[in-house]
A and B are shown apart, each in its own frame.
Chain A
Amino acid sequence: MTVRDIPASESGGRPPLDLSGSRNRSVSETAIGVILFLFAAFSVVTTIGIVVILLYEAALFFQDIALPKFLFGNTWTALFQDPEFGVLPLVRGTLMTTLIALFVAVPLGLMSAIYLSEYASPRMRSYLKPSLELLAGVPTIVYGYFALTFITPQLLQPLFPGVFQPLNAASAGIAMGIMILPMMASLSEDALRGVPNSLREAAYGLGATKLETSVRVVLPAAVSGIIAAFILSMSRAVGETMIVALASGARPANGWSPVEGMQTMTGYIMQVFTGDVVYGSVQFRSLYAVGLLLFLMTLAMNILSQWVARRFRKDYQ
């Protein structure tokens, strides 16, 4: 059709266009909106429900055990005849295994990320990055088993004879470090690749070598993203259960020795659930107190990482 097909006399007296659309369509659009909202709300409601239950049961626990005694007590004998609920040994176990994991994952993850982002050819990266991310798909129970049957007896004990006990925090920490390595590497690589190319050109243009460019320009420019990666990896390690339950044992630690077994907060929760604790007892409720503390710790870390990541975006406006 061309304009010439319309007779000049008609073009003046055309009826007004009806653009109101079909009534059915507006009804179904609204219905779909409501349904999608319900699904979206589901996860929020679930989260709220979990927090409410945690808070409720923990509150019941704190009626029996004073909060300061729980937070600052240094003896955890929850399942003994005369129980004491000082959570510090469990926190210590969690901190120790997490620190060891970060000790493994941060240097390895950063170096992998710098290699992938700055040094690897596109072809190399297209092979390496997916295989690195495959590590993230290994079930954690396999890592735990790996720590128990390989890292301790085949690696640590032969290297340092007579030092490591069969169950120890070090093996669990190392396995956990390998577990969080893909996360650390992948998120750090994203942060490095997010650095505008113009900064690399600026550095090269000043006669910087590749190493100087990568380490002294690109890495500092990506530091907020890398810190966010660090915090997320840390919160993943703090919440990890299977590896520490298998490889680090069930004895709350009195000291900071990584060659001995150290029960973690998650390890304790699992131990109680797989045992025969009476429902409604103070031991049962202690789970919720420990769980609440764990939740608050990982929540704080996630908020921190989001705050850091937001600052990162601001820098490049």
Chain B
Amino acid sequence: MSTDTQERTSPGRSNSVIKDGGEFDTSDTIIQLRDLNIHYGSFHAVADVSLDVPRNRITAFIGPSGCGKSTVLRCINRMNDLVPSARVDGSIVYSGVEINTPKVDPVEVRRRIGMVFQKPNPFPKSIYENVAWGAKINGYRGDMDEHVERCLRQAALWDEVKDKLKESGMALSGGQQQRLCIARALATEPDVILLDEPASALDPISTLKIEELLRELEANYTIVIVTHNMQQAARVSDQTVFYSLNERRQGVLVESGTTAKIFTNPDDQRTEDYITGRFG
């Protein structure tokens, strides 16, 4: 199993790893994308994306609809393998290992890089089973009751569900369901959690809860979140990555940097136009 769990200890929220130019220190990168090109059949959806994701930080992907931000996210844990027509070229290095190769089993990747989806999708099982399931199939050996409680606490859901663990996960409200999905993802003890617009189907209060939760999880996990909500990106993320479409309708990475820099002093005119609402 994972050999670098001891590195999960938080570096704290010091700014020392952030260099003056609005870039992150590349020595503490957990995921590196290099020259990523994604095709669906003959459609070239994403072109030449290169990106470093810093460890134990929150990285937000923003950009207009259809610019490939979700597509890039789904490459990071090889979810695009499930789309028969998808082809991913380029390099994805996770903890020093190239994972975009047939030699790497996507199941092993997904056990370390968990995912939370746009629409809450709890299993039609009990709340307890929803959390325990992922741990069980990953061969978790330990006190499962304790583990489930810990994950639900981390997902800020324990107090709301502790008396009804045997009830169906589908009976919860949308916001609770999404936190259950986060707890479920935490239960497999991943290093990285990918979130694909996790709050887009939720009301503002539930959204706020999810955002607070992400800030707490950051100490122990690396988080990459796709959001169409710029305020959300500004509120929760340390690094922001702006995607857009080029003139051939391909998704491209325009600019990445610290969230403060992207939102106050972007280098690229397109980023500025998007941030200020003149486009998108």
Contacts and interface: CB of A to CB of B under 8 A. Distances in A.
A250 interface: no
B77 interface: yes
Instruction: Please name the 4 residue pairs, one residue from A and one from B, whose CB atoms are nearest each other, closest first.
Output: A207-B111, A206-B134, A205-B115, A198-B121
B137 A206 contact: yes
Interface stretch (B50-58, B155-163, B181-189): B181-189
Interface string A212-231: 10001100110000000000
Contact of B82 (A122, A201, A212, A316): A201
A159 to B, nearest CB: 40
A221 B114 contact: no
Given A206-B188, A207-B111, A220-B125, 15 more contacts: A199-B124, A200-B82, A202-B121, A202-B123, A204-B110, A205-B79, A205-B110, A205-B117, A206-B185, A206-B187, A207-B107, A207-B114, A207-B188, A208-B134, A216-B133
Interface in B91-113: 107-112
Contact of A202 (B137, B138, B181, B187): B181
A216 B137 CA distance: 10
Nearest to B184: A206
B154 to A, nearest CB: 16
A196 interface: yes
B195 to A, nearest CB: 11
Contacts of A199: 121, 123-124
B261 to A, nearest CB: 31
Interface of A: 121-122, 196, 198-209, 212, 216-217, 220-221, 315-316
Contacts of A217: 123, 133
B3 to A, nearest CB: 17
B77 to A, nearest CB: 7
B185 A121 contact: no
Nearest to A222: B124
Given A205-B185, A206-B184, A198 B119 contact: yes
A216 B84 CA distance: 23
B254 interface: no
A201 B117 CA distance: 8
Interface of B: 77, 79, 82, 84, 107-112, 114-117, 119, 121-125, 133-134, 137-138, 170, 181, 184-185, 187-188
25 contacts: A196-B121, A198-B119, A199-B123, A199-B124, A201-B82, A201-B117, A201-B121, A202-B123, A202-B181, A204-B82, A205-B115, A205-B185, A206-B110, A206-B114, A206-B137, A206-B138, A206-B185, A206-B187, A207-B110, A207-B134, A207-B138, A208-B137, A212-B137, A217-B133, A221-B123
B77 A220 contact: no
A223 to B, nearest CB: 9
B110 A202 contact: no
B79 A207 contact: no
Contact of B79 (A121, A201, A209, A212): A201
A199 B115 CA distance: 12
Contacts of B184: 202, 206
Contacts of B107: 207-209
Q: Which of B110, B115, B124, B184 has the most CB of A within 10 A?
A: B124
Contacts of A196: 121
Given A207-B137, A207-B138, A202 B79 contact: no
A315 B171 CA distance: 9
Contacts of A202: 117, 121-123, 181, 184
Nearest to B136: A216
Contacts of B114: 205-207
A202 B119 CA distance: 10
A191 to B, nearest CB: 13
Nearest to A207: B111
A221 to B, nearest CB: 5
Nearest to B170: A315
A2 to B, nearest CB: 35
B84 A121 contact: yes
B150 to A, nearest CB: 17
Contacts of B138: 206-207
Contacts of A216: 133, 137
**In this complex, which of A202, A205, A208 has the most chain B Cβ atoms within 10 angstroms of its Cβ?**
A205
A217 B77 CA distance: 20
B224 to A, nearest CB: 13
Contacts of B117: 198, 201-202, 205
Contacts of B133: 206, 216-217
Contacts of A122: 84
Contacts of A205: 77, 79, 110, 114-117, 185
B151 to A, nearest CB: 12
Contacts of B111: 206-207
